[in-house]
A and B are shown apart, each in its own frame.
Chain A
Amino acid sequence: MPPVFDTPAIDYHAFAPEIAMVVTLVVLLFVDLVFEERGRWATATVAGIGLLASVVPVLSLAVDGADRSLFGGAYVVDNFALVLKALFLVAGYVTVLISTDYIADGDYYEGEYYFMLVSSLLGMTVMASARDLISIFVALEMLSIPAYLLAGWRKRDLRGNEASLKYYLLGVFASAVMLYGMSLVFGVSGSTLLVDINQAISRGVDSVPLVTVGIVFIVVGFAFKVSAVPFHTWAPDTYQGAPTPITAFLSVASKAAGFAALVQIVFIGFLGREDVWAPMFWVLAALTMTVGNLIALRQTNLVRLLAYSSVAQAGFMLAPFAVAADIPADRGGVGAATGAVVTYLLIYAGMNLGAFAVVMAVARKTRSAEISAYGGLFAYAPGLAVLMGVFVFSLAGIPPLAGWYAKFVVFKTLLDAGTVAAVTLAVVAVVNSVIALFYYASVARQMIMEPAPEAETARVRVPGSLGAALGICAVATLAFGAFPGLIAQLGDLALLGVLP
């Protein structure tokens, strides 16, 4: 029978980053298959080169400048998408750098590890461009499922199994809730495209309960992904049990992908209905910041402390969502909130990856992630101690490190909104920043003031790729802090093109 089928128009340049990543995946599989034991180092190199090669089309698309909209608007490559794709790819590359020696030294499956890492990154890059419910959901699963598997990569460790299982069970539950919300929203609007949903649900007050339930369910699903309180319970156990490079990857890239999806869905799809989601985000932001910081105060394990700190940082990133609709148009409107979130994500990625890289470097020697093991680090590994100090104080928001600019942008957004709720949230944020400083400073105090445990005075050898990762993160943290104009441009670039 003759086909009655219109071949869709495919813009290969727009898909070039994803195509490069798929090629990397295939090459990874073959290299792993053919080289077996002796060529294992090759898989890390292939993964790294592949990720860098995928950045090239992102840059060329950015230089090209035009927004590309494919498949009726379901897949859009605009500045927001490009900035996020670049973030994911660079964060992925840094993860590959910090994984190289960890995976090679441990008794782990190596080729498959990089395969899963790159496939999760593929999901993230697709997520940055997805503008319809089905694409978002598929991209979410694509980035989550390799992450579930990677969290359990330490097969013989009970903590590793627990990490993966908790992440997986809560993750699929959240996905199920979110999918139900998506089906309700689809039922109201009759289309999966976010712009059509926006038109349908902001039109009038019909079917208010249905839209409310739908929005709430969808936000809950993504709140799990960004580890907002009270959906954060998976985070500390998963971060502790997973291999440390994966912890770094989850806390940075996976969270960023969740935020990207939230920005798209809330700021494009649900824009007329801030009466539903704005209070919800207010509560989520306030709870997340507070609970994350308070529990972090009591941690004795540095990885768990960083886990709770990343929960609290997610709270800061949720704050612009709560006030986005109230920002007046001359201050940037919803675009300013988007810019704040993206700026915070970019800076947070650098600092958090750096902190985890230092954790890994020290753990190579001390074999422990307890804070007490960091005693006296400044005495026998001054470089690492200084770097850790840089990252930790940047996370706390101390100028001239990059973290201060991130917090500054969020505060500016909150104050620009000007409503009572926004100012209250700003006060909560300030209080939380002060609380956070306590435990960040305690890490620094441990490194500088406390004496070193016995027999720990040998020098710490930092392998090449780990050093390179440390260097990249340190440069990012210092440069963006001293010259915030650099990142302000990227934050501004991230204005969405499809705002009503």
Chain B
Amino acid sequence: MIAQNIAFAILALVATLAALRVVTTRNVVHAALYLVVVLASVGALYVLLAAEFVAAVQILIYIGAIVVLFLFGIMLTRATIGVESDLDNDQRWIAAITGLFLLGVLTFVLVESFGDDQLPGLAGVSREELTAQRGTGAVGDAIFSTYLVPFEVISVLLLAALVGAIVLARRD
């Protein structure tokens, strides 16, 4: 468990610092790239939890599609290089205080409720069992049996979003 704790500590630190840089940097593209670091750290955390499918999908979708879309939007509309002096928020101190307050509340709540829990030791679990529980097959089975209705609704949702986005973005 030592190795997992160390790995978790490193990933959590990287994610936290990158997240802080996302909101404090003055360059929009740099903010998007720091977001990529945060998302990649979360993906690595999923690997630590033996959820490899979710990790791969996190990288594929979040980093490979969503942030690419952000960057597309930024590049096609602004594309200014370098620091933007007005990329700031007048309410940043109130926001920081609110953020710290929220951090305090959530830390207290989570530590109080889950502080004594331990992740089930993965060393004693065989790979077959892990795969059966968390592998791609298990996720696929869940999507198509227990969560069939949300799955179908999401597919219609994607179509509606596609149609609406094209309508709003069309130049005419």
Contacts and interface: CB of A to CB of B under 8 A. Distances in A.
Task: Assess A/B contact in the complex (Cβ within 8 A).
Answer: yes
Contacts of B165: 149
B1 interface: no
Interface string B107-132: 01110111000000000000000000
B145 A152 contact: no
A187 B153 contact: no
B148 interface: yes
Interface string B145-156: 111111001101
Contact of B156 (A4, A142, A188): A142
Interface of B: 105-106, 108-110, 112-114, 141, 144-150, 153-154, 156-157, 159-161, 163-165, 167-168
A209 B160 contact: no
B168 A152 contact: yes
A19 to B, nearest CB: 10
Given A112-B163, A149-B168, A209-B109, A5 B145 contact: yes
B106 A119 contact: no
A145 B146 CA distance: 24
Given A7-B145, A122-B153, A138-B150, A112 B164 contact: yes
Contact of A119 (B108, B141, B147, B157): B157
Contacts of A29: 163
B99 to A, nearest CB: 14
Contacts of A122: 153, 156
| Residue of B108, B141, B147, B163 with most chain A CB atoms under a 10 A cut-off | B163
A71 B109 contact: no
Interface of A: 4-8, 10, 22, 25, 29, 70-72, 74-75, 109, 112, 115-116, 119-120, 122-123, 126, 130, 134-135, 138-139, 141-142, 145-146, 149-150, 152-153, 155, 184, 187-188, 207, 209-210, 213
Among all A-B residue pairs, the 10 with the closest Cβ atoms = A149-B164, A119-B160, A138-B150, A210-B113, A207-B113, A209-B109, A8-B145, A142-B157, A109-B167, A112-B167
Contacts of A119: 156-157, 159-160
7 contacts: A8-B148, A71-B146, A123-B153, A155-B168, A187-B113, A207-B112, A213-B105
Given A112-B164, A135-B150, A149-B167, 10 more contacts: A5-B144, A5-B145, A8-B148, A71-B146, A119-B156, A123-B153, A142-B153, A142-B154, A150-B164, A210-B109
A238 to B, nearest CB: 15
A213 B109 contact: yes
Contacts of A150: 164
Nearest to A9: B145
Contact of B160 (A75, A116, A213): A116
B145 A6 contact: yes
B155 to A, nearest CB: 10
A200 to B, nearest CB: 12
Contacts of A112: 163-164, 167
A134 B147 CA distance: 8
A142 B146 CA distance: 19
Nearest to A119: B160
A146 B148 contact: no
B167 A145 contact: no
A138 B152 CA distance: 10
A217 to B, nearest CB: 10
Contact of A72 (B113, B146, B153): B146
B114 A139 contact: no
A164 B138 CA distance: 39
A404 B113 CA distance: 47
Contacts of A123: 153, 157
B145 A145 contact: no
A25 B148 CA distance: 19
A134 B150 contact: yes
Nearest to A72: B146
Contact of B164 (A134, A138, A146): A146
B106 A71 contact: no
Nearest to A129: B149
A292 B158 CA distance: 35
B145 A188 contact: no
A71 B148 contact: yes
A109 B170 CA distance: 11
Contacts of B161: 145-146, 149
Contacts of A4: 141
A120 B146 CA distance: 23
B145 A115 contact: no
B47 to A, nearest CB: 20
Contact of A115 (B109, B110, B114, B160): B160
B112 A116 contact: no
A145 B150 contact: no
Nearest to B157: A142
A485 B141 CA distance: 48
A135 B157 CA distance: 13
Contacts of A126: 149, 153
A210 B164 contact: no
Contacts of A71: 145-149
Contact of A25 (B106, B149, B156, B168): B156
A230 to B, nearest CB: 14
Contacts of B149: 70-71, 74-75, 126, 130, 135, 138
A125 B147 CA distance: 17
A42 to B, nearest CB: 17
A119 B159 CA distance: 9
A492 B150 CA distance: 29
A116 B112 CA distance: 45
Contacts of A152: 168
Contacts of A207: 112-113
A397 to B, nearest CB: 37
